[in-house]
Copies of this chain bind each other. A is one copy, B any other.
Amino acid sequence: MKVGLAQLNIHVGNFRANTDKIIAAIKTAEAQGAELVVCSELGVCGYPSRDFLEFDDYIEKCREAVEEIAQHTTSVAAVVGAPSRNPRPEGKDLFNSAWFLYQGKIQQVIHKTLLPTYDIFDEYRYFEPNTVFQLVEFKGRKLAITICEDIWNVGNENPLYVACPMDELIKLQPDLMINLSASPFSYRQYHERMGVVRANCERYKLPMVYVNQVGAQTELIFDGGSVVVGAGGELGAQLPFFSEEVRTVDVETLRQPITFDLPSPISLIHDALVLGIRDYFSKLGFRKAILGLSGGIDSALVLCLAVEALGRENVLSVLLPSAYSSGHSVDDSLALVKNLGSPHEIIPIEAPFQEYLRTLAPFFKNLPQNVAEENLQARVRGTLLMAMSNKFGYILLNTTNKSEAAVGYGTLYGDMCGGLAVLGDVYKMQVYELARYINRTGEVIPQNILTKAPSAELRPGQKDSDSLPDYDILDKVLYQYIELRQGPKELVAQGYDKALVDRILRMVNMNEWKRYQAPPILRVSPKAFGMGRRMPIEGRYLG
């Protein structure tokens, strides 16, 4: 059977665009000889639709879109993802469903059984789990259709769910597994995902067509990478990462297993971030970005990524030097924008900063300078950038990295301003790795930016290392605590110094209030700050 994989960049809530895109994909696949076209999970409305799903009107629009798409399935069948209503009064009102469309009509509706409710996932907030298992019969073949998480409960020593949908479906003797997914990117997601797909193929001795959503939805970046895997676990087709494609594959005559070399993690993160920026702007209807270029590595990297995403002419760098800026900060920044050929402006912050100090002098009296004056400089920069943004319609890109966000090393309403935090899920050591990746075929980011000691330059001679542990140690402890949920005991058992561990964990927990007001962060790790990590602000635990 020839199956068309429709790996599409869906826009949440944009029913007209999504419906048109799905219909066009059906036509494309049909022209490629497909008998059946498979789309991604909840592809009609987009994933995650979040609380839009609580609006009756939204569910109605999903249904109308499915019906419109069905009209284009006269000679080719299609499976599309959309919510459906639960006819029973008991339980949640919706199912997360795969709609099988053929001969111009809705033929069958299959519901998702396993509803991920952890990290960034909230599915039990909206959906009732399926309890009835059925196949779809089409052209003499029996299809086992599952949705994303449904196949993730296989071969796990500590499974998250009591049920295993494919264990039920296999009893009905299917010929082919089809999975509609919306599986967001993280740098280790491909391995886990392929492990899961292969474990299913091997366990049930069936091929699988796996179709994933592509495109970013604010913080979540869906990487696509849809596959066809044979009954022996061999790779039959591999769709691209981070871009759309419609491809038709004969799943019964898979050629020799193809080989596929996964790009390096750092290049995947790079591509994910570029897509994340691009889609944030295009889906909000914006074109132009602005950012503050400090001479440090974080803003240098954000500029490079934004130029790739939006085009050099659409990214304005603003240099905002102060009395504490070192000479090289401006020179390095100028060298960078020259390398990129992107526009810049210079707006010294000294005059408004001094005016604030004059205004505040009657209250501050002769108290020693402290964090108040440091934050003030960062807020002058934030205010100037936002003024330019408001005047000319730029979106301000935030340049905070994950190490800083973790320990609260940043000024709220200052350098924490912005519409999107590009590096908020990238640790400082990964920032360097990405910068070297940017420079892989020649110097784009000046070497001096890569080698200078990190500094906020908010007081004379300041270095990050005055306030923070060295980034190589800091990042390792943060990774253990944030990504792996290792507590103080486990970290000390790993050999880290107890005082250092306590200090770092305390900084992380005490700064929850600050992260609460941070911009949305492009997620590239298995555990990013934001919607996937939900911590009490007032909690007094390790803080």
Residues of A within 8 A of B (CB): 11-14, 17, 46, 48-52, 54-58, 89-93, 117-118, 122, 124-125, 157-162, 217-218, 279-280, 283-284, 345, 347-349, 351-352, 355-356, 358-360, 363-364, 367, 370-372, 375-376, 379-380, 382-384, 386-388, 390-391, 412-413, 417, 419, 485, 487-490, 513, 516-520, 531, 533-543
Contacts and interface: CB of A to CB of B under 8 A. Distances in A.
Contacts of A413: 379, 382-383, 386, 413, 417
A519 B517 contact: yes
B538 A284 contact: yes
Given A125-B118, A376-B383, A538 B390 contact: no
Given A160-B92, A382-B413, A283 B516 contact: no
Given A359-B347, A520-B516, A217 B384 contact: no
A280 B538 CA distance: 7
A518 B517 contact: yes
A540 B390 contact: no
Contact of A379 (B58, B118, B383, B537): B383
A371 B50 CA distance: 31
Contacts of A375: 386-387, 390
A536 B56 CA distance: 17
Given A12-B536, A12-B541, A375-B390, 18 more contacts: A13-B543, A17-B540, A46-B536, A49-B536, A56-B485, A57-B490, A89-B159, A91-B159, A218-B537, A279-B538, A283-B540, A356-B383, A360-B387, A360-B391, A363-B388, A370-B391, A517-B518, A520-B537
Contacts of A533: 51
A543 to B, nearest CB: 8
B218 A538 contact: yes
A398 to B, nearest CB: 10
Contacts of A284: 513, 537-538
11 contacts: A11-B538, A50-B536, A92-B160, A122-B125, A218-B537, A348-B359, A351-B355, A356-B384, A359-B384, A380-B383, A513-B520
Nearest to A59: B487
Contacts of A376: 383, 387
Contact of A356 (B12, B352, B519): B352
Contacts of A355: 351-352, 355
Contacts of A218: 536-538
Contact of A51 (B386, B520, B534): B534
Contact of A54 (B280, B349, B391, B485): B485
Contacts of A419: 513
Contacts of A371: 390
B364 A359 contact: no
Given A355-B351, A386-B375, A517-B517, A487 B536 contact: no
A91 B162 contact: yes
Given A125-B118, A419-B513, A356 B387 contact: yes
Contact of A89 (B157, B488, B536): B157
A17 B539 CA distance: 12
Given A89-B157, A161-B91, A539 B388 contact: no
B91 A160 contact: yes
Nearest to A18: B540
A289 B226 CA distance: 53
A459 to B, nearest CB: 14
Nearest to A131: B162
A159 B90 contact: yes
B540 A11 contact: yes
B162 A55 contact: no
A352 B52 CA distance: 42
Contacts of A390: 370-372, 375
Contacts of A157: 89
Contacts of A118: 125
B541 A52 contact: yes
Contacts of A490: 56-57
A118 B487 CA distance: 29
Nearest to A45: B541
B516 A516 contact: no
Contact of A13 (B58, B125, B417, B536): B536
